[in-house]
Chain A
Amino acid sequence: MYALQVKDLTKVYSSRIRAVDSISFNVESGEIFGLLGPNGAGKTTTIKMISTISRPTSGSILVFGVDAEKHPDKVRELIGYIPQSVSVDGDLTGYENLLIFSKLSYVSKKERDARIIFALEYMGLKERANELVKHYSGGMMRRLEIAQALVNRPKLLILDEPTIGLDPASKTKMWDYLKKMNREFGTTILLTTHDMAEADLLCHRIAIMNAGKIAAIGSPQELKMSVGVEMIKLCLDSSAIEKLVIPDELGKIIGYENSSVIISVENAEKKIPSIVEYLLKRGIKIESISFNKPTLNDVFLKYARVAFEEGESYSQARMTRRVFARRSR
């Protein structure tokens, strides 16, 4: 069953910007799916249409088979949407944020209280539950947003740049929470990101987006393999190089360079120990080892034909900072 089917989706803003240009993709139920692209790629526009917040110019969106154009209210019952800027209410307490939004999502009174207590505990917010959210840190606010999803239990959770503005530790924590939620509750997750590492570590599959179009779709592993192979470079004693043979299950020799041999392998980190062991057993001395594997950046370069701009655009950085500044006042 597909959690999401997007077909020929297009959004043209009044100023004739084709923010999203006839994209199609499917998300399987239970998947963590990422839209990866630089700023201005059209990621936010895409998920706003999926969340029924903005209307597509053309194309269709089915959420668990429900047409978003015809039944936006039914779709909103299936999804949870976490926008890019922090969307919890700073003038309410953490507990109240959960309570109000569970009421607006019609979580039955019977289940509400137990779920709120569980979510607060699960996200490590129990001690601060009765404090005003404007005194929370940015990471805590994000955690509260995930807690809202835990209370409302959407089948499809949609997050826009979930870790933007977070410090590395909170970032890793957030990834863990999302993975856990996906595993334990079977929540399908759709997220956008301009962070390659995030896409790589968190998502089962990603769609690479650039200038309103999807350039490639696949698992991070598949995409990286499609760009090139992983290579290990071994610097050896020159006498050993010529007669060196490597069994197929370890890799394939694809070239020589000065006093080095280059071997193509499938999973460099895993294969290096075996190769070292193999060589040592045969009394071959290794001078140095280096390896090279394609990154999502290479994938992006190949498919989108432009370099991926790292970092945030000025306006986005300012927006995020402004929100956090206000919230933490």
Chain B
Amino acid sequence: MIRIVKFLSSSLTIAEMEARKIRHDSTELWTRAVQPALWLLLFGEVFNRIKGITSSNISYITFIAPGVLAQSVLFVSIFYGITIVWERDVGLLTKLLSTPSPRSSIVVGKALAAGVRGIFQAIMIFGLTLIIGINLRLDPFDVISVFVVIVLFAMCFSSLSMTLASLLKTRERMMGIGQAITMPLFFASNAIYPLDLMPEWLRTISLFNPLSYVVDAMRSLLITGDYSGIPLDAVALVLSTLIFVSLASIMIRRLIE
């Protein structure tokens, strides 16, 4: 087999492994759906009564739906490193890395696996928006594009998480760092308020926050249907994903040494 075929086959096998685990036990999917539900039902409903947060004629709860989706995928991905540390602790990671599969294919596979979980999050949240009557553009093209965005996004941040895991090495530290970075990432983005409401300095920071591009792309696809910003979003997302996946591939062996 040629190298690229082997690489892809191994990555997909790792993702398949994750999918099979989800099939055996889906409780985690359901518990992870609780938080976005609270954001939409409580936070969204309450702030919906305040007019003028969003400039246009879309309601606030509609406005934050893509942000809440992005946030829940962010949580799944940023804590993905904990799974890796756990797999290291029980000897599973060592076993994976001693197979003939290239190490980078294992990392890409794990990142894809986070994407698989992200897609399940999206399906749950779409279901929720239908129930509470949030009006998203759920036609096939938009939904599939959102899935692509989610997979890239999950790959990006789960790779960041795996890189951190290679440096921090314990589950406790990973919990700590995960909590320390998710909130700043979330608030320094356009997830729950538009960029124009931000003070100048925060707006500058949000320009370097991959989450902003993800939310912008999702909002274009799911709400406005204005695709003009998407090429920039895509470039920013693909670039940061490539960087973090490569970084994680280089770092991962530190975890088992």
Contact = CB atoms under 8 A, between A and B. Distances in A.
B51 interface: no
B90 A84 contact: no
B9 A53 contact: no
A83 interface: yes
Contacts of A66: none
A326 B10 contact: no
Contacts of A55: 257
B156 to A, nearest CB: 24
A210 B256 CA distance: 24
A86 B91 contact: yes
Contacts of A73: 100, 102
Interface string B162-180: 0000000000000000000
B100 A87 contact: no
Contact of A91 (B24, B89, B100, B253): B24
B13 interface: yes
A86 B6 CA distance: 27
A97 B1 CA distance: 23
A92 B90 contact: no
Contact of A89 (B92, B94, B101): B92
Contacts of B1: 106
Contacts, number: 79
Interface in B17-70: 17, 20-21, 24-25
Nearest to A14: B257
A91 B19 CA distance: 11
A291 B26 CA distance: 63
B222 to A, nearest CB: 33
A83 to B, nearest CB: 4
Contacts of A136: none
Contact of B95 (A54, A87, A323): A87
A292 to B, nearest CB: 41
Contacts of A52: 98
Central interface residue in A79, A85, A104, A323, by most chain B CB within 10 Å: A104
B142 interface: no
Contact of B6 (A54, A106, A132): A106
Contact of A81 (B92, B98, B102): B98
B94 A323 contact: no
B99 interface: yes
A82 B92 CA distance: 10
A273 B97 CA distance: 54
Nearest to B99: A104
A53 B10 contact: no
Contacts of A89: 17, 21, 92
A100 interface: yes
Given A54-B257, A83-B91, A87-B91, A103 B13 contact: yes
A81 B95 CA distance: 7
A104 B90 contact: no
Interface string A75-108: 0110101111111110111001000110111100
A51 interface: yes
A84 B14 CA distance: 23
Interface in B226-257: 253, 256-257
B91 A101 contact: no
A82 B24 CA distance: 25
A53 B17 contact: no
Nearest to A90: B90
A141 to B, nearest CB: 11
B24 A87 contact: no
Contacts of A85: 89-91
A87 B99 contact: no
B183 to A, nearest CB: 30
A19 to B, nearest CB: 12
A326 B10 CA distance: 27
Contacts of B24: 91-93, 132
A81 B16 CA distance: 22
A53 B96 contact: no
A76 B98 contact: yes
B98 A100 contact: no
Given A54-B257, A89-B92, A104 B100 contact: yes
A208 B205 CA distance: 60
A84 B101 CA distance: 21
Interface string A41-74: 0000000000111110000000000000000010
A105 B1 CA distance: 12
B90 A86 contact: yes
17 contacts: A52-B98, A53-B94, A53-B253, A54-B257, A76-B98, A77-B100, A79-B98, A85-B90, A87-B92, A87-B94, A91-B24, A93-B24, A100-B13, A101-B95, A104-B13, A104-B14, A105-B100
Interface of B: 1, 6, 9-10, 13-14, 16-17, 20-21, 24-25, 89-92, 94-102, 253, 256-257
Given A76-B99, A105-B101, 10 more contacts: A53-B256, A76-B98, A76-B100, A82-B95, A85-B90, A85-B91, A89-B21, A89-B92, A91-B24, A106-B100
Task: Report, nearest first, the 8 A-B pairs whose CB atoms are least far apart.
Answer: A85-B91, A87-B95, A81-B98, A87-B91, A104-B99, A83-B91, A103-B13, A77-B100
